[in-house]
Amino acid sequence: MASGHINDTYLIKTKEKPYFVLQRINHGVFKNVPGLITNKVSVSLHIRKKMAHLSEKELKGRVLSFLLTTNDDSFYHKDSDGNYWNMMIYIDNSVTFEMVNNEEVAYEGGKLFGDFLNQTSDFDVSKLVEVIPKFHDMSFRYSQFKAALQSTPKERLYKAKLYIDCVTDLKEEMHILQNLKESGEIKLRTTHNDTKISNALFTKNNKGLCVIDTDTVMPGIIHYDFGDAIRTICNTAAEDEINLDLVEFNATYYMAYTKGFLEHMKSSITPLELKHLPLAAKTMIFIMALRFLTDYLNGDVYYKTKYPEHNLDRAKNQFKLLQSLSQQLSKIQN
């Protein structure tokens, strides 16, 4: 099941419901899997407390519930192959979207991810392990890109040339948020860090249910979560669509998402955070473009790919989205 680029996820069907979701965590990518599991279990418990008014049955549909092993651990580790497994209750009667085709889903997605940030706004970030250090750190991603340029074969360099130039052109602007984070002007919060729309569960009537895939929960700024959700919600095509004419930035969905997001975040968002939401969208699209491009230059060592130029196609797609957003930026800022 599921469509992740990193972990393996299985739906376990049992005679009686509930079903379960079994996950093998990629310990090549995540160096501290026990820390990752502790992060996500404690954040789920925190959210659960915020929803204490719901019944136990309702709660199981609104927040992830992790299972314990017979040794009372939240994960099972097999020494012989190094694999880590964890299991949660499958949330039934839910749907996910790889792409958004209606405004209501954008609005409901905004409420859901806004709620996640709001409910975790009083979670002590110092208790969270940085599961992938510098995950959305622009200087780090840029230095990985520079290193890849040094070692990539000529043919890949040639094919990526146009996009390498785009990176250079945008480099400075794309560091603004990181600088504000480092200076402490924008504060660290508990963030999800992988808020693509397929990581949100909805009811069959398009109402937001639950945020899933909390593997990358760690300290971050709200712009990561806002921007990554916008990146996927406002793309009129899939992340790896190769017909770039189909890839446009949908500003209507941007407005709908932002409306929902702010309804749930208005009590905890600062004016400076608010001011930089449009830049967050641009920055997160850019960072994904940069990461896909870097992985292409590196010979596809990180993301799962289905064919040789998959990563380059993903990067092209994200750069097209970025261009379309840039053309509409003044409208969005207003």
Contact residues: ligand GN1, CB under 6 A: 4-6, 29, 194, 196, 213, 216, 239, 288
Nearest residue (CB) to ligand GN1, 238 versus 262: 238
**In the complex, minimum distance from the CB of residue 332 to ligand GN1, in angstroms, rounded to a whole number:** 21
Report the site for Mg ion in 135-194 (rule: CB under 5 A).
194
Contact (CB, 8 A) for 139 and 287: no
Residue closer to ligand GN1 by CB (options 196, 264) is 196
List residues bridging with 202 in a β-sheet: 95, 208
Interacting partner of 65 out of ligand GN1, Mg ion, none (Cβ under 5 to 8 A depending on kind):
none
Give me the least distance between CB of 135 and ligand GN1, in Å please: 7
- Is the CA virtual torsion 34, 59, 199, 117 positive or negative? negative
Query: Residue 319, Cα to own-chain centre: how many angstroms?
Result: 18
Answer with the entry of Mg ion, ligand GN1, none that 5 interacts with (C-beta below 5 to 8 A by kind): ligand GN1
Is the Cβ of residue 129 or residue 262 nearer to ligand GN1 in the bound state?
A: 129
Q: What is the rounded (10 degree) CA torsion for 319, 325, 328, 330?
A: -110
The residue (of 10 and 259) whose beta carbon lies closer to ligand GN1 is 10
The site partner of 225 among ligand GN1, Mg ion, none (C-beta below 5 to 8 Å per kind) is none
Secondary structure class of 104 (helix, strand, coil)? helix
Least Å distance between CB 215 and Mg ion?
6
Nearest partner of 317 among 264, 265, 242, judged by Cα: 242
Q: Which of 108, 115, 213, 239 binds Mg ion (CB under 5 A)?
A: 213
Q: Which stretch binds Mg ion (CB under 5 A): 40-48, 89-97, 143-151, 207-215?
A: 207-215
Q: Which tokens hold the place of 301?
A: 């060592």
311: how many CB neighbours lie within 10 A of its CB?
Answer: 27
| Integer CA distances (angstroms), 73 to 36, 53, 80, 85, 215, in order | 13, 27, 18, 11, 17
Q: Which residues of 97-134 are buried (b: 16+ CB within 10 A; e: fewer)?
A: beebeebebbbbbbbbbbbbbbbbeebeeeebbebbee
Nearer to ligand GN1, 96 or 121 (CB): 96
Provide, rounded to whole angstroms, the least separation between the CB of residue 210 and ligand GN1. Answer: 16
Q: Residue 196 touches which of Mg ion, ligand GN1, none (CB < 5 to 8 A by kind)?
A: ligand GN1
d(CA 173, CA 325): 15
Residue written as token pair 């659960």: 48
* Minimum distance of ligand GN1 from residue 256's CB (angstroms): 21
Distance CA 148, CA 159 (A): 14
Using CB under 5 A as the binding criterion, the count of chain residues that bind Mg ion stands at 2
Summarize as ranges the residues that interact with Mg ion (CB under 5 A). 194, 213
